[in-house]
Structures are given as structure tokens and as C-alpha cells.
């Protein structure tokens, strides 16, 4: 599954060292100038460039020089000290001045067609204060398109955290390779449309990637064409354990997702005292008692947790599910029970069959004995920690969902939108992943593909005018089914 590599800031620095002599700052300036020209169009010609005290400022001087030579009206504000610039950045400043450019101390009055943020790049690790914070606030107040160079100033390139304040760009051109902080947490809201300029480097040949960015190709690693001579037994069986009193709908949503995304048989075991005997919308779903659901050989994949509740009877049913020799997808209250009960946590970590856990940030915090704020402050690290602790494939849901495996590899999913912030979405995702597992996809491939598919299905609804406000989990399930069939 080749996909675009992701590197943390320290790894990008290693690549830059190994690519010494490649004129990276010049190439970055050329690439940014080309994008700036396309954003400005044929008539807009006035550009503000804000150059910072480090190499990001050097990139900004290169952009400014290219645009000035192409007859743009360029104003450059330099928020640094000339004597403290690196060698390459100092050369870039000299080019700007040789081209007749001046340095300003403040943003001038007047109307700009584009602002270019070259204040801070991937190296920022401290909160913005004083003049730098004021500059970021002024850039955000300009009410013009903003192009950020490499990283919007104020965003941590590794985590996506806002360092007290951050530029809200309409476009970000990141250099060499993608960084995790641009793809998760607050990064996407500040990047705007994200562009990549590899600067002529094959980053993966210079250093092994830290992670990968999911794309549509992950579907093909999990979904295969069906021969004509095919029967439901070959499509696998999925069980769903959950649905305590008042929450049966969660288990039904997971079951419907598994059924509509290709599982041959789907069984639901609801823990409510008097569960319904049939799902009128999907009478194909079969109901089983918890003990009967876990009969050896019945299931290829089991979802445990949707609407499960946290009663003692739920914990007992979950322990039985953890003991079952079947691929297990743990979601919702199953995760909360595991986070609260050390014996259940140990049982998960000791499983021989594959385990998939799909927490949202609060559930992830419970699994780690941490806080939601701590999880969100470094989502990649949190996902890796969950995967390692529970010896599971972990999906930390949210803006830029992060998937990690116990060995430390991680992936970030770019699909999805705010319309998915509605009840039942996680239940649908668990059912989709289980369906892919049941149909023969390796568990990690099923999780990667299911995560991408879940978000892409919601994106397709928005593209068709059905969202983002008011999207339901049931709509996402049907949209996912259409995408699976298109991929096949």
C-alpha cells in the first residue's frame, strides 16, 4: 500500500542534512512563488510577505524575490535580526535586497491581494508571545487570502497544537513531505488547503517515514472483486455485542453497517432485558443470546461495545467476548469498561487473536489513565501508546484520525468532515471495519480502509449537498456501501 510519507520535524531536519547541496531554500521559494502566482491570478499583484527570524524567513525572502522579478508589488516585513540568520537565509535576504527590495518593521497600510506567512516553520516549540503574537493576530485580521510556508506560524508541526495563537491560512505549502501536525488536531483548521512541494527529493529514499497518509488505494488492499460463483459463507459472519437497555440502537447501527458493507451474515446480541426480536428496517439481521453468539466457529469478526453500558452483566459479557478466538473490534462502552477494570485491560493485552480498538479522545484517555487534554495535545503519541499497551491496532478518532500498530507505525486519515459529529457514527465505523475483516481483509488493512471509507462516505454526502449539518450514521453507511461497490 504505497502512500505519501509523513515525517516529524526532527526527521525532516535529518533529510535536509542528507540532502545538503540541493538548494532546498531556493527550490522552496520557487515552488511557493508559483503557487502564489496561481492564487493571485492575472490581475491581483500586491503581496505582503512576513519573514521570520529563522529558515522559514529565508524561504520567505526567496518567494519575495521571485515575485518581485515577475513584477509583483511586494512588501516584506522582517521580524528578526539580520546577524542571527543562518547562512542560507542570509543569502536569501541578500538576493532580496539586490533585487531592490526593502525591509519593513510593520505591516504597511493598504490593500493586499495575498499575504505570505513565513514567520515560523517546523521548529517552533514555544508559545508565541509579544511581537510575534501581535503579528500573527494582524495577519489573521487582514481579511485576504493567506499562504503559509511549510507550516502556519504557531502550529506545532508534530502535534497540530496551537502555540497560544496561530495563523489561519487559506493555503499551506509544506516542503519535502507531510508533517503530522498539519493533518490532525488543530492543524487542518489552520492550514486551509494543503499543498506539498517535494523540492526534488525522494524523502522515503533518504529516511524511513515515521508514518503514512491514507489515500483511496487502501480500499483495494481490503476489498476484492467477488467471483460469480460466490455464497454468503464466503463473505463471512459478524457479531455485535452491546445494546443495553435504552441503547439497543447503537448495536443495530453497527449491525446494519456490517450487513450493508458486505458481511454475509450479521448477528446481534442485545444486552437489554427485552430486546426486539427483529429489526424492521433490516430483517436480515439475526438476533442471538450472548452465549450463543460466542459459539465456536460462528463468527469471523466480533464488535463489542456499542450501547453496551457499564453494568456488571455488561462486564461479564465483555470478558467472554475478549476470550473468544476471533478478530475483535472494541468500541464505546467496551473501551470504558476496559479503562476502568485492570483485569479486562490485561485480558485484552494477552489476546492471541487480532484486536482493534477505536476510541474517541475521551475513551483514549481512559484507556491510558490520562486526560482528554493530554491525548489531544499529541494524538500520534497517544495512538501509539494505546496500540502498544493493549497489543492492538488502535484508531484514535477525531480531526485527522490516527491509526497505530503495536510496533509504532502510524497512519493519518485525511477524509471526513464536521458533519460526522453526530450519534451513531462510531457504531457505524465499527461495523464497517468488522465487515471488511469478515470478508477476508487482514485486520490492519480493514482498519485503514474502514477509517478512510467512513470519512470518504461522509465527504461524498457533503459533495452531494446532504451536509455537513444533519448527516446521520445511517446515511454514511449507505454512502460507504456505494464507495465499496465503486472500488470493486
Listing DSSP states for 199-247 in one string gives TT--HHHHS--SEEE--GGGGGGT--PPPSS--GGGG-EEEEEE--TT-
Cell (9 digits) for 381: 503519541
Q: Nearest-CA neighbor of 34 among 147, 176, 193, 142?
A: 147
Q: What is the pLDDT of residues 313-349, one digit of tens each?
A: 999 999 999 999 999 999 999 999 999 999 999 999 9
pLDDT, one tens digit per residue, over 362-378 is 999 999 999 999 999 99
CATH entry 3.40.50.620 includes domain 4-209: no
User: Predicted confidence band at 278 (pLDDT cuts at 50, 70, 90)?
Assistant: confident
- Start-end of CATH 3.40.50.10260 domains in the chain: 4-209
**Segments of the chain assigned to CATH 3.40.1190.20:** 216-487
d(CA 116, CA 139) in angstroms, rounded, equals 9
Measured in degrees and rounded to the nearest 5, phi and psi for residue 181 equal -70, -15
- DSSP bridge pairs for 240: 268, 303
Question: How distant, in Å, are the alpha carbons of 215, 216, 264, 384, 481 from that of 486?
Answer: 15, 11, 19, 32, 9
Domain 216-487 has CATH 3.90.1640.10: no
Place of cell 485492570: 342
Considering only CA atoms, which of 27, 45, 181 is closest in space to residue 111? 45
pLDDT band with cut points at 50, 70 and 90 for residue 488 = confident
In this prediction, residue 464 has a pLDDT band, given cuts at 50, 70 and 90, of very high
Strands 4-6 and 46-51, bridge-based pairing: unpaired
Q: DSSP secondary-structure letter at 42?
A: T
Query: What one-character DSSP code corresponds to residue 207?
Result: S
* DSSP β-ladder status, 327-330 and 171-175: unpaired
Q: What is the pTM of this model?
A: 0.96
- Tell me which residue of 423, 430, 437 sits closest to 475, measured CA to CA: 423
CB-CB contact of 301 with 238 (8 Å) = yes
pLDDT band at 181 (very low <50, low <70, confident <90, very high): very high
Residue 285 has pLDDT above 90, yes or no: yes
Amino acid at each position: 500500500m504505497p502512500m505519501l510519507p509523513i515525517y516529524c520535524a526532527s526527521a525532516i531536519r535529518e533529510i535536509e542534512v542528507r540532502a545538503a547541496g540541493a538548494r532546498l531554500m531556493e527550490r522552496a521559494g520557487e515552488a511557493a512563488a508559483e503557487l502564489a502566482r496561481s492564487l493571485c491570478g492575472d490581475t491581483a499583484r500586491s503581496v505582503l510577505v512576513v519573514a521570520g527570524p529563522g529558515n522559514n524567513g529565508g524561504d520567505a525572502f526567496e518567494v519575495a524575490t521571485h515575485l518581485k522579478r515577475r513584477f509583483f508589488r511586494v512588501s516584506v516585513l522582517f521580524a528578526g535580526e539580520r546577524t542571527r540568520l543562518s547562512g542560507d537565509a542570509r543569502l536569501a535576504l541578500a538576493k532580496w535586497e539586490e533585487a531592490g527590495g526593502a525591509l519593513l518593521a510593520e505591516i504597511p497600510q493598504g490593500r493586499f491581494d495575498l499575504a505570505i506567512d513565513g514567520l515560523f516553520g517546523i521548529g517552533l516549540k514555544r508559545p508565541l508571545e509579544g511581537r510575534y503574537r501581535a503579528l500573527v493576530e494582524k495577519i489573521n485580521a487582514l481579511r485576504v487570502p493567506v499562504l503559509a510556508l511549510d507550516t502556519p506560524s504557531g502550529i506545532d508541526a508534530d502535534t497540530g497544537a496551537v502555540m497560544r495563537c496561530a495563523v489561519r491560512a487559506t493555503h499551506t505549502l509544506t516542503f519535502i513531505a507531510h508533517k503530522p501536525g498539519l493533518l490532525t488536531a488543530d492543524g487542518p483548521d489552520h492550514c486551509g488547503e494543503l499543498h506539498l512541494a517535494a523540492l526534488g527529493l525522494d524523502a522515503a529514499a533518504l529516511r524511513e517515514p515515521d508514518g503514512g497518509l491514507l489515500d483511496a488505494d487502501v480500499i483495494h488492499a481490503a476489498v476484492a472483486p467477488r467471483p460469480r460463483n460466490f455464497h454468503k459463507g464466503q463473505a463471512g459472519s459478524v457479531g455485535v455485542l452491546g445494546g443495553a437497555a435504552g441503547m439497543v440502537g447503537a448495536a443495530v447501527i453497527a449491525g446494519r453497517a456490517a450487513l450493508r458493507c458486505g458481511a454475509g451474515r450479521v448477528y446481534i446480541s442485545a444486552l437489554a432485558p427485552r430486546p426486539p426480536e427483529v429489526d424492521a428496517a433490516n430483517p436480515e439481521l439475526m438476533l442471538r443470546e450472548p452465549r450463543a453468539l460466542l459459539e465456536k466457529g460462528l463468527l469471523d469478526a466480533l464488535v463489542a461495545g456499542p450501547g453496551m453500558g457499564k453494568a456488571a452483566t455488561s462486564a461479564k459479557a465483555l470478558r467472554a467476548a475478549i476470550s473468544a478466538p476471533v478478530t475483535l473490534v472494541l468500541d464505546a462502552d467496551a473501551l470504558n469498561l476496559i479503562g476502568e477494570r485492570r483485569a479486562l485491560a490485561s485480558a485484552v493485552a494477552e489476546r492471541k487473536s487480532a484486536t482493534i480498538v477505536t476510541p474517541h479522545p475521551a475513551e483514549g484517555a481512559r484507556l491510558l489513565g490520562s486526560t482528554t487534554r493530554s491525548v489531544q495535545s499529541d494524538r500520534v503519541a497517544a495512538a501509539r501508546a494505546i496500540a502498544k499497551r493493549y497489543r492492538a491496532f488502535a484508531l484514535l478518532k477525531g480531526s485527522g484520525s490516527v491509526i497505530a500498530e503495536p510496533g509504532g507505525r502510524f497512519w493519518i486519515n485525511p477524509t471526513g468532515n464536521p458533519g460526522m459529529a453526530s450519534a451513531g457514527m462510531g457504531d457505524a465505523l465499527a461495523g464497517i471495519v468488522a465487515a471488511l475483516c469478515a470478508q477476508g481483509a487482514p485486520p490492519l488493512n480493514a482498519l485503514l480502509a474502514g477509517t478512510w471509507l467512513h470519512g470518504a462516505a461522509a465527504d461524498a454526502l457533503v459533495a452531494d449537498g446532504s451536509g455537513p449539518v444533519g448527516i446521520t450514521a445511517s446515511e454514511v453507511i449507505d454512502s460507504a456501501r456505494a464507495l465499496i461497490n465503486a472500488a470493486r
